[in-house]
A and B are shown apart, each in its own frame.
Chain A
């Protein structure tokens, strides 16, 4: 009996592990562009953690990590189940998970602090376990922590500015998982291309998102703007001729293994988020230039050389819809992109990545920013806040998370939480978690 029981146990373990590996590999992309070697939530996500900016006059006015129960089988479905205030308005923006998904790093564009939350002990109630307060001093002057991307047992963090002039020249900074500084990799500039090829006219040294294709030893960065611009009132900036010259126009391909820049491409108009293809046969990624409303494809050609190509418009560029966030479906066939100014989400068929075709659009709210999709593409979540000083004013300043279901033809609303009414603030980036991630395995 014992032998049989042991055999059954071993078989169960193998079966379970095999299922897990299969699930992990089949799930890849969405949840919203997580690294390819990160465990994915292949079923129903239980919680969404929302990095929320404190808003003056709203609740305790501080940045906070808000957790919402999103499991339809839960009695608390569509409700806020916890909120962890971190002190101050730091311009909470993006977050990154450690590869084991046990910790969530919340980056901030203003004070450059990084707040590290334990989300595995009790996913419904994350706990702030460490705050990195000396990022700028340690990194040699990098300001404005943005994307946090795990690489093995380290984290790569993009900075958007610097402590010399609050402009756009910045760097990628590497930390260990336990929050120790490792190195700073400044973006290539004309006087110091660091061996990279300047393929066009621009090498501005600006930075924004970072993503990687480890199987190709490739890392990608995009370029936005410096502290003075992303922190200032949006309307004031649009009226400021000098400020409007200070946007990034570059996309850099790096060698991931030694963080060395290889090629700098001209991508005019502030390319923001980067999303890499999921299928191992697809050697490309997309980015969207927010000011020019253009979709760009960065791909390997037949000679395995990286190239950049503008492949389509998002909305009507003359109306500056401002594409701000996008996701790619796990089969690399569908791309969802939100545009802040008109509050729309658009779906593009990207089966042929060189010729995206818009197939659907829907108005989400008076303003919309982040979009996150479940791995199976059936659930989409939207938040409203772009930047504290860029959000719309007055009645159009809606602050929400909205949940939708996608049936292949139509987005149908499931729940809405009004973050102003709940006295929470301005919701920005979302990350999923699930109880099953932290049990049994």
Chain B
């Protein structure tokens, strides 16, 4: 084999041309604000229902990262949040968090190396998936429920929509092993796979005082990272807890009053004296689960086939290409108590403006739709939660509540998302 040696001058010229091209490419990529890249899909579909829709797409190359010191949030929780619970048997350290972040974004941790935790909990999409009602797992397998956000998951002892797990350290193994999520055949398979990946060499030993990858250390590392995805100090927090009158708009203040009084949202989405998690961490029947399990569906479904173009597709046509709807009985699947049929966990409302679509099955695309649903009193069924009733809210009042809900977005979203962007995405090398 022969090589043609370039003259030194030509080499220098090539380097200069490359540098110029990189510079020009930088210039050509338009300026996009940090919030556009970190708050919502780069593939923006707002207004797609209208014929006036125009794309505002953002290149995936804009997803540039900046690592943050995630431990700071543990040491000093944002305004409006209580101390972050950290289990005694898994004290949080910088090395564990960094290792957990690497695992969280590693697609090699699924059987066919296509799914990581982050493929359903996408950082710029509120650490959930704004693009799907319900999740899609390995090989496209159906997941019944909407991917819940990771934001502030550190505070909860009921994990998943049905609360079937109790600690983040344990929880991570469920998607890892679920046939329809990451599809790994066993715990041992995952452990051995990580042990065999050269880029993990020494990382577990360093983070866990000599301990190797194992059922405990893998869970501890990922849980440590998830525990740092904490977001508070929102405009609401600065107004309510920080006593800064100008932090909240008048519309949001009106919405807050409605939230607490006429609409009664705070019965389940709790606000305490010194902090607010906006959830009772309990389970309620709104009628949605009941409707999809035993209710009757219409003869045709409106399907959007292009911007501003919807057609009615007969249900029998859809059924011809649909697998049977998976059953979903909610909390009952954990307790086996008929009282718990179609009860689902109250989600936190922090960063709720970033975590559409809403409800356990993602059936509502906007907060306005959610409010309309509750305003009509949910869906009547024999076990409807007694706190759900027709609210008699006007459109203007619902708009004010939406403005209030939008004020619950924390001030560190860009920091957390940019930090996530800085994580390497694990693909087979």
Main SS class of interface, B: loop
Which of A210-218, A345-353, A388-396, A433-441 lies at the interface with chain B? A388-396
For residue B28, which residues in chain A have a CB less than 8 angstroms away from its CB? 192, 194-195
Residues of A within 8 A of B192 (CB): none
Q: Whole-angstrom distance from the CB of B14 to the nearest CB of chain A?
A: 16
Give chain B interface residues in 1-52, CB to chain A under 8 Å.
28-32, 41-43, 45, 48
Interchain nearest-CB distance for B139 vs A (Å): 6
Interface string of A380-410 (1 = CB under 8 A from B): 0000000011111100100000000000000
Q: Is there a chain A Cβ closer than 8 Å to B377's Cβ?
A: no
Taking A134-B427, A191-B32 as contacts, is the C-beta distance between A243 and B321 under 8 angstroms? Answer: no
Closest approach, in angstroms, between the C-beta of A202 and any C-beta of chain B? 5
Report B-chain residues with C-beta under 8 Å of the C-beta of A238.
301, 303, 313, 318, 321-322
CB–CB B112/A110 < 8 A: yes
Q: Which of A67-94 contact B (CB under 8 A)?
A: 88-91
Residues of A within 8 A of B319 (CB): 235
* Cβ 8 A contact of B57, one of A195, A204, A247, A396: A204
- A205 to B122, Cβ gap below 8 A? no
B273 CB to nearest chain A CB (Å): 37
When the two chains form their complex, are residues B140 and A388 in contact, meaning their CB atoms are under 8 A apart?
A: yes
| Residue of A168, A245, A341, A390 with most chain B CB atoms under a 10 A cut-off | A245
Bound CA span A204–B304, Å: 17
Residues from chain B with a CB closer than 8 A to the CB of A320 are 303, 305, 311, 313, 317
Q: Which of B29, B130, B131 contacts A191 (CB 8 A)?
A: B29
Closest residue on chain A to residue B306 by CB atoms: A268
User: How far is it, in angstroms, between the C-alpha of A317 and the C-alpha of B130 when the chains are bound?
Assistant: 29
Interface residue ranges of B292-337 to A (CB < 8 Å) = 301, 303-307, 309, 311, 313, 317-323
Contact A205 B43 (CB under 8 A): yes
With an 8 A cutoff between CB atoms, is B428 at the interface? yes
**Docked complex: A135-169 residues within 8 A CB-CB of B:** 136-137, 141, 143, 162-169
Q: Are B309 and A268 in contact (CB under 8 A)?
A: yes
| Chain A CB within 10 A, most for which of B43, B60, B307, B356 | B60
How many residues in A have their beta carbons less than 8 Å from beta carbons of B?
68
Binary interface profile of A, 191-213, with partner B (CB < 8 Å = 1, else 0)? 11011000001111100000000
- Contact of A192 (CB < 8 Å), options: B29, B140, B303: B29
Chain B 43-84: CB-based contact to A (< 8 A → 1; otherwise 0): 101001000011111111111000000000000000000000
Number of contacts between A and B (CB, 8 Å)? 209
Chain A: CB-nearest residue to B54 = A201
> Among B42, B43, B122, B311, which residue has the most Cβ atoms of chain A within 10 A?
B43
> How many Å lie between the Cα of A133 and that of B427 in the bound state?
10
Alpha-carbon distance between A234 and B304 when the two chains are bound, in angstroms:
14
Q: Does B214 contact A (CB under 8 A)?
A: no
Q: A164 is contacted by which of B31, B48, B311, B425 (Cβ under 8 Å)?
A: B425
Q: Does A183 contact B (CB under 8 A)?
A: no
Choice from B114, B303, B317 contacting A110 with Cβ under 8 Å: B114
Q: Which residue of A lies closest to B326 (CB)?
A: A236
Extra contacts besides A110-B140, A241-B357, A391-B321 (18): CB < 8 Å = A110-B114, A162-B60, A165-B129, A166-B136, A167-B41, A189-B59, A191-B30, A231-B139, A232-B140, A233-B322, A234-B321, A236-B322, A238-B321, A242-B356, A244-B305, A388-B139, A389-B140, A393-B320
Can you list 30 A-B pairs with a CB-CB distance of less than 8 A?
A134-B427, A134-B429, A136-B107, A137-B429, A165-B42, A165-B129, A167-B41, A169-B43, A189-B59, A192-B61, A194-B28, A201-B53, A201-B55, A204-B57, A205-B43, A228-B131, A235-B318, A236-B142, A236-B322, A238-B321, A242-B133, A246-B131, A249-B55, A249-B307, A289-B306, A291-B305, A292-B305, A292-B306, A320-B313, A396-B320
Interface residues of B (CB under 8 A from A): 28-32, 41-43, 45, 48, 53-63, 107, 112-114, 119, 122, 124-125, 129-134, 136, 139-140, 142, 301, 303-307, 309, 311, 313, 317-323, 356-357, 362, 365, 425, 427-429
